Amino acid sequence: MKKILITGGAGFIGSHVVRLFVNKYPKYQIYNLDALTYAGNLFNLKDVENSPNYHFIKADIVDGEKMMQLFGQYEFDSVIHLAAESHVDRSITNPMEFIMTNIVGTVNLLNAANHHWKSDFEGKRFYHISTDEVYGSLGATGFFTESTSYDPHSPYSASKASSDHLVRAYHDTYRLPMVISNCSNNYGPNQFPEKLIPLFINNIRNNKPLPVYGKGENIRDWLYVVDHARAIDVIFHKGSDGQTYNIGGHNEWTNIDLIKLMCKVMDEKLIRAEGTSEKLISYVKDRAGHDLRYAIDSTKLQRELGWIPSLQFEEGIRLTIDWYLNNQVWLDEVTSGNYLKYYEKQYEER
């Protein structure tokens, strides 16, 4: 029987990972540790919260003593570490929160795991969830592979790169069993509406402007969040110790093409005349240090561990739009209060 600590399980990707593990592995005990920042929402896990193998711990990974104590108390044998500050724009306005959670928080977990596991590493695993943004920005051609040099540009990606290096350092120095994956942009249900896709769905729904950074020519490689959770399941169980796996679905879109597709689907769903939502597009000042293109080569994961994405993008984006339109209470809840103040500040200078 495994006792798995999943950090950040109340967030977007974490909630899908928790759901998959709780339902698929009834014999595992799943401990969701989350500080419930603005991005954490236990409502995301309503359907599993009463499962006998699910437990919630409200705690902050920046609190090193607490992490040490919890590892002693619960005797976790594995960690799937997703807790992070995750939004690039917030990292530009407030880098220190990213340094604290993404770097210091990760080291606190590494210290606690190493301290409690070092007498016997057998059956232990520290799985660190990371991003393709650590590799920096691509030109028009090429892909990120596991051996691409790190070249982060935002405080967010630099803090994630730092945490990746530290996880590898604990493996090489102390032999801490670990694995890392670096995934491309995720989309799907339960994503906080500060990221492009849910923000724009919400704005179209409310007839608000769609703030496109620069010319909208930047390219992102989008993966449905449930396919990311499936990859995490495979890597957790079958990944080789000390290895890194890239996760992505070869699904590149310029922002402007993606936004126009969303406008078209939203016009259909909201029964608006074709072209109505596109009129909301508003070109605004570009993001500082805006990476031009991300694109993942996930051959290693596909060839060695047999993972392939299950959903085509056209299907995934329709499912996603349907989810937000069918869960308007969720959207209204998370966009009220503090988030509105953030939103006003974020866009006031643009």
Catalytic residue numbers read 132-133, 156
Among 196, 229, 232, 266, binds ligand TYD (CB under 6 A): 196
| Contact between 201 and ligand TYD per CB under 6 A | no
Residue located via tokens 């072209």: 275
Please tell me whether residue 62 binds ligand NAD under the rule CB under 6 A. yes
Is residue 117 a contact point for ligand TYD (CB under 6 A)? no
Angle formed at CA 222 by CA 7 and CA 208, multiple of 5 degrees = 95
Q: Measure the CA angle with vertex 305, ends 299 and 310; round to 5°.
A: 75
Check residue 199 for interaction with ligand TYD (CB under 6 A).
Answer: yes
Alpha carbons within 13 A on the beta-carbon side of 69: 8
Residue 233 or 278 having the CB closest to ligand NAD = 233
Residues with Cβ within 8 Å of residue 148, at least 6 apart in sequence: 135
Determine if 154 is a binding residue for ligand NAD (CB under 6 A).
Answer: no
Site string for ligand TYD, 68-97 (x = CB under 6 A): --------------------x---------
Q: What are the phi and psi torsion angles at 182 (to 5°)? A: -120, 115
The 3-state DSSP class for residue 72 equals helix
Closest by Cα among 34, 119, 109, 35 to 79: 109
Site stretch for ligand NAD (CB under 6 A), options 23-31, 48-56, 180-188, 204-212: 180-188
Instruction: Check binding of 30 to ligand NAD (CB under 6 A).
Output: no
User: Is 106 near ligand TYD (CB under 6 A)?
Assistant: no
Q: How far is the CB of 345 from ligand NAD (least distance, A)?
A: 18
Residue 15 vs residues 12, 30, 47, 126: alpha-carbon distances, Å = 6, 12, 11, 19
Cβ of residue 207: shortest distance to ligand NAD, in angstroms? 26
Residue for token digits 């992102």? 220
Under the rule (CB under 6 A), what is the footprint of ligand NAD?
A: 7-8, 10-14, 34-37, 39-40, 60-62, 82-86, 101, 105, 129, 131, 160, 183, 185-186, 192
